[in-house]
Amino acid sequence: MTKTERADYIAKRLEELYPETPVPLDHTDPYTLLVAVLLSAQCTDIRVNQVTPALFSRANNPKDMAKVPVSEIEDIIRPCGLAPRKAKAIQRLSEILLEDHTGQVPKSFKELEKLPGVGHKTASVVMAQAFDVPAFPVDTHIHRLAQLWGLTNGKNVDQTEKDLKKLFPEELWNKLHLQIIFYGREYCVARKCFGMVCPICTALYPNRKTPKEYNKS
């Protein structure tokens, strides 16, 4: 198969497997999604969803969150890891939203990425899932699978994002990035497949004889 043929096959197969793509992080609006995505850095979505009810019962909007002491936020979110840094970011971004954006999450990559604790991936998730703006957030699952499937050389996540955006139609990006994540978690788990076990890997490369190496970052 050519790279384009592989991409077409992947998109069709993932649509068969995951016709519905619910957002994995529990949230009620763009602000709670932003905070949840920030918390998900180096943490599982399951753990984040266990922590956010307590956090959002304390404060679920920028005005209230800006009043919560950083130490209290830190205590609540500690199970997510990196609590001191994340707590400071959550409180400060809440203040900035009030100061510069009338308490609203901006609908702009540029403005989102100015917020503390918000990098390109976090901004992409918010733009895609909160505002339905085409984006292709690349997490560890996507970065790994894109290499196993021969869609990118995987030098870094930025290059993987660029390569995937070239291969797939823009109207598929928001759904497809979730479909790939779901597939990676269910079928192509790191340290188990290495391009030789799961249904898509074996369909794309039926003659692969040795484990496929991939760059982690």
Q: Which residues are catalytic?
A: 121, 139
185, amino acid identity: R
172, amino acid identity: L
Please report, for residues 68, 75, 154, 203, the alpha-carbon distance to residue 199 in angstroms, rounded to integers and kept in the order given.
Answer: 48, 42, 21, 6
- Alpha-carbon Rg of the chain, whole angstroms? 18
Of 110, 117, 101, 177, the residue nearest 145 (C-alpha): 177
**Cβ–Cβ < 8 Å for 112, 106:** yes
Residue ranges in the chain assigned as alpha helix (H) = 3-17, 30-39, 45-58, 62-65, 70-77, 83-100, 109-112, 120-129, 140-148, 157-167, 173-186, 199-204
Distance CA 177, CA 126 (A): 13
